[in-house]
Amino acid sequence: MRQGRLIATGAMLAFCLFALWQSLLLSLTDRLGPGPGFFPFWLAMIGAVLAVALMISTFREAADPPDTPRILPHGPGGKRWFAIVGLLAAVTVAMDFLGFRLAMLAFNAALVIALGERRWWLVALFAGMGSFGVYYVFTTWLDVILPSGRLGL
């Protein structure tokens, strides 16, 4: 487990340093305020600091006993984890055909159910607000174009 964490943390540190280098090729400011490189620079900087902190804490902890070789979650947590990853893959495939609103409606409802909620009115409220509400905010207030799909919704 410790070796896997060190490898993952090293990969994340390398990615953050690459993103930091690439963000420095863009201007950090322009005449209106933050430039195109401002947010990538700070996100990469924060990610690199967190990766170094995690690497230091991993080096400081004792080696794991040999009877804990698990990397992926198991038990009920593992089922939820695999359900979320499967739902993300399904909504990615369905987005082009169904559009943002219907794909996110189904995704949010299935996600809340996979996480253990059983009250139908709460599932419906979360799914509706997470799909139609987010679509309204992004398209009306933020002027972001979201996919409408082949069905036009």
**41-54: pLDDT as tens digits:** 999 999 999 999 99
Contact 109, 90 (CB under 8 A): no
Residues of the chain with pLDDT under 50: none
Nearest partner of 114 among 133, 101, 127, judged by Cα: 127
Burial grade of 43 (CB within 10 A; 0-12, 13-18, 19 or more): middle
Please state, in angstroms and rounded to a whole number, the distance separating the CA atoms of residues 85 and 92. 11
What separation, in Å, do the N-terminal and C-terminal C-alpha atoms of the chain show?
Answer: 45
- In this structure, what DSSP letter does residue 142 have? S
- Write the single-letter amino acid at 19: A
- The DSSP annotation for 42-97 comes to HHHHHHHHHHHHHHHHHHHSPPPPTT----S--HHHHHHHHHHHHHHHHHHHHHHH
Q: What is the pLDDT of residues 12-24, one digit of tens each?
A: 999 999 999 999 9
Tokens standing for residue 135: 């679509």
DSSP state of 34: E
pTM score, whole prediction: 0.56
pLDDT for 70: 66
